[in-house]
Amino acid sequence: MRAVSVSLPTLLPKRSPDRRRALLVAIILPTLLVGCHGHAGGAAGTPQVTVVDVTPRDTPYTYEYVGQTQSSHQVQILARVNGFLDKRVYTEGSMVKAGQTMFLQDPKPFQAKLDAAKAGLEAEQARLQVARDNLARVKPLAARNALSQKDLDDAVGQEKEAAAAVDAAKARVEEAQLNLGYTNITTPVTGASSYAQVQEGQYLDAQKAAQLTYVAQLDPMWVNFSISENDLLKIRTEASQGALRLPPKDDFEVQVVLADGSVFPTKGHITFANADYNQQTGTFLLRATLPNPEGVLRPGQFVRVRVSGAVRPNAVLVPQQAVLDGAQGKFVILVDKDQRAQVRPVQVGPWLGHDWFITSGLAKGDVVVTEGLARLTPGAAVKIANTQAEGSRLAEAPGEAGTAGSAPPRQ
């Protein structure tokens, strides 16, 4: 037979090394099976491979999404009375405490109104005293018929009118005191302050609700993320079929990964699920609440959200490099009890770290080849050089989720 030299790498598209190796095996295996089966490994000896024993086990599964942080209590700082701004007394961007003064308005006009209100109250109180004294004189005279019933009724009415005037004057004093207090503009929450949007000397119109600045509470911090309708239905279907076990009361744990890849140290829980789907995006909004005592998380950050708590019972996991692509779909190479290589079609699920979930095709006790695939042919004798431990594989990427399109449902 005339040999034709062809460089396989030039025929294959540019792909990742693992992908190209998988395609190369898929192309070579059928050819070797038909034309070279009797000569495989003859000159080079028995191929040595690394394998992993299939051991179904309950496997925690983590879902991963893109989320955005939001202050759990962001408050706009506004002027409540009209007047000129005297001074900004906080440092822009600093942490402020609830009740801390942030701005001062000119208090002199409000102090004058308070003084006038207090003077008016004293006058009304004096009138009330006169009315009461008059009523005290009229009552015994009316009892002896020295005065008419009309005189008594007039005295009683004047006393009640004076008492009402005193109450109104007290209300004006209280209002003036409140307005004077409003010139001392404070923050109602503890958090990070923003820059001042007004300058000293500027006139503040309370009716226009001009924002002076805002304060964002940082502890706790909210993290919002969304799940698509299809993903939510898929999870519910898997849960109803027993392929997925959800935590009691849907109490999922949430962990946040920052932009630089570091993991935020404190974890939280899902505390809110929106009542309906977003019709424009077809997604369902979820919110997690995380403790943020050091203020590391700030509102508006984009983060990766890892949601854990779900378990895949009796799950079968194999390394991703062990799963190859063929004309009929994905397959793996097994080592049978006679120490020979066999092809086994499989159905795969999502990823977990560097492993595939195998939904069908493998069972407990199967031995899957993970390394040394390039020299194998179906039925050829092999030698197991090393057995890879499943625990060490999962430890390589703890907590990583293989899919980013599914999230846990919340009732």
Whether pTM > 0.85 for this model: the answer is: no
Residues with Cβ within 8 Å of residue 222, at least 6 apart in sequence: 69, 70, 71, 72, 287, 288, 289
Q: Are residues 309 and 350 in the same domain?
A: yes
Identify the bridge partners of residue 324 per DSSP, sorted by sequence position. Answer: 331
The DSSP letter of residue 262 is: P
Q: Are residues 371 and 263 in the same domain?
A: yes
Q: Along the 411 residues of the chain, how does pLDDT read in single tens digits?
A: 333 333 333 333 444 444 444 444 444 444 433 333 444 344 457 889 999 999 999 999 999 999 999 999 999 999 999 999 999 999 999 999 999 999 999 999 999 999 999 999 999 999 999 999 999 999 999 889 888 999 999 999 999 999 999 999 999 999 999 999 999 999 999 999 999 999 999 999 998 888 999 999 999 999 999 999 999 999 999 999 999 999 999 999 999 999 999 999 999 999 999 999 999 999 999 999 999 999 999 999 999 999 999 999 999 999 999 999 988 899 999 999 999 999 999 999 888 888 999 999 999 999 999 998 888 888 989 998 888 765 444 444 444 444 433 444 443
Q: Are residues 234 and 209 in the same domain?
A: no
Which of 162, 188, 216 lies at the terminal end of a domain, its last residue? 216
Q: How far apart are CA 148 and CA 366, in angstroms?
A: 115
Q: CB neighbours (10 Å) of residue 193?
A: 20
pLDDT value for 45? 77
Q: Are residues 266 and 407 in the same domain?
A: yes
Identify the bridge partners of residue 387 per DSSP, sorted by sequence position. Answer: 51
Q: Are residues 396 and 248 in the same domain?
A: yes
Question: Using alpha carbons only, what angle is made at residue 336 by residues 333 and 339, rounded to the nearest 5 degrees?
Answer: 100
Q: How far apart are CA 69 and CA 289, in angstroms?
A: 10
Q: Are residues 264 and 386 in the same domain?
A: yes
The total domain count for the chain is 2
Identify the bridge partners of residue 302 per DSSP, sorted by sequence position. Answer: 68
Which of 194, 216, 238 lies at the terminal end of a domain, its last residue? 216
Q: Are residues 226 and 258 in the same domain?
A: yes
pLDDT value for 21? 46
- Structural domain span for residue 113: 74-216
pLDDT value for 401? 43
pLDDT value for 390? 58
The structure tokens 């009892």 sit at 143
Q: Are residues 53 and 128 in the same domain?
A: no
Which of 186, 216, 246 lies at the terminal end of a domain, its last residue? 216
Q: Are residues 108 and 64 in the same domain?
A: no
Q: Are residues 236 and 294 in the same domain?
A: yes
Q: How far apart are CA 102 and CA 199, in angstroms?
A: 13
Q: Are residues 210 and 225 in the same domain?
A: no
Q: Are residues 60 and 107 in the same domain?
A: no
* CATH for 300: 2.40.30.170
Q: Which of 246, 263, 247 is nearest to 255 (CA)?
A: 263
The DSSP letter of residue 278 is: B
* CATH for 84: 2.40.50.100
For residue 74, what are its two tokens?
Answer: 């962001």
